[in-house]
Amino acid sequence: MDLNQIKVFNMICEKKSFSSAAKNLYITQSTVSSHIRNLENLLGIQLINRKNKSQELLTEAGKLFYDYTKGITPLISEAEAAIASYKDGYKGKLSISTSPTILNWFLVDLLKSFKKKYPAIELILHSAFTPETIEMVLNRKVQYGIIRHTHATYADPLIKTEPIASDRSVLICSPNHKYSDLREVSLEDLKEEEFIVYAKDTSYWRQINDLFHDHSFQPRVTMELSDLFTIKTMVSEGIGISIVPQIAVEQDIQDGKFAVLHIKDVPIIKRYSFLIYRDDFIFSGPSEKFYQMISGRNFFSE
């Protein structure tokens, strides 16, 4: 079976059309058609519906074939990159997906050190929440993921995980807020406050909301944002209060831009970060150098 045929087939599945596949592969549409025709002849079965546009793109056989082959192209690319890295010494690519919090307030210094030590390695960074990061690792779209989790352990039969960090979250308000001079506040004090929440569809908000629910408290949510920088701006302008990762506001607190409100009788909200990679991942070149730098360390542990 020709790997080019599989590559073309997978691209059609991803882009949902022959023309888009041809454009992305820098080949003609007739070449795409030829590859698919030869692949179907080899397998003795139709994989793609061509005539009736009301039908799904893939036949049942096509769906089955895609389930088996969608990981082949990334694996071949990974193998080619590994050999290139081996030949070129410290050259090559390192791909990582992680949350905005980790990317903006944790990885910066680490990657700065990495680039200084290995300047020829190209870094490819993706900002994504934990479920998408896990999916990218499983589909070989990235070599590593760094995820955040509610608990101190994380298990997945297809993924290896290593704890690398733990951090707490804090309730912040503007220095001009009426509670800014208080060391502690109660949930009763907060019942009329306007909460700005970070990404309601994430485990981060669910963790906070579950904690409030355990204490029979319903926060008055007036704004939801998926960007921590914007949340910080809104809080500093006195538009509301928010619970955010402390690492995202550490310097701002020291600079007096925010006040921290400790909530009486409510446990500290902690998050745990893990380096993840496929169970069958092969270490070589850039990926090995990054692993050596990050593995075994516990950053900003509290």
Measured from the Cβ of residue 122, the count of other Cβ atoms closer than 10 Å reads 11
Alpha-carbon gap, residue 28 to 36, rounded angstroms? 13
Q: What are the Cα distances from residue 86, in Å, to 117, 187, 285?
A: 17, 58, 6
Task: Show the tokens assigned to 184.
Answer: 């502690």
For domain 3-70, which architecture applies?
Orthogonal Bundle (1.10)
Alpha-carbon gap, residue 125 to 269, rounded angstroms? 27
**Topology of 74-160+272-294 in CATH?**
D-Maltodextrin-Binding Protein; domain 2 (3.40.190)
Record the pTM: 0.69
Q: Is the pLDDT of residue 26 over 80?
A: yes
CATH number of 167-270: 3.40.190.10
Alpha-carbon gap, residue 148 to 192, rounded angstroms? 30
Residue 298 banded pLDDT, cuts 50, 70, 90: low
Task: Show the tokens assigned to 76.
Answer: 């071949």
The C-alpha R_g of the chain, in whole angstroms, comes to 24
DSSP count for the chain of H helices, then E strands:
12, 10
Q: Is the pLDDT of residue 97 over 70?
A: yes
Contacts of 251 (CB under 8 A, 6+ apart): none
Q: What pLDDT is stored for residue 78 in this prediction? A: 78
Most confident of 53-67, 98-112, 208-222: 208-222
- pLDDT one-digit tens code per residue, 126-157: 999 999 999 999 999 999 999 999 999 999 99
Identical fold between 3-70 and 74-160+272-294: no
What's the mean pLDDT in 225-238?
A: 95
Q: Is the pLDDT of residue 204 over 70?
A: yes
- pLDDT one-digit tens code per residue, 51-70: 766 678 999 999 999 999 98
What's the mean pLDDT in 162-168?
A: 92
Measured from the Cβ of residue 196, the count of other Cβ atoms closer than 10 Å reads 21
Q: Are strands 270-278 and 159-173 parallel, antiparallel or unpaired?
A: antiparallel
- By three-state DSSP, how is residue 296 classified? coil
Domain residue ranges of the chain, discontinuous segments joined by +: 3-70, 74-160+272-294, 167-270
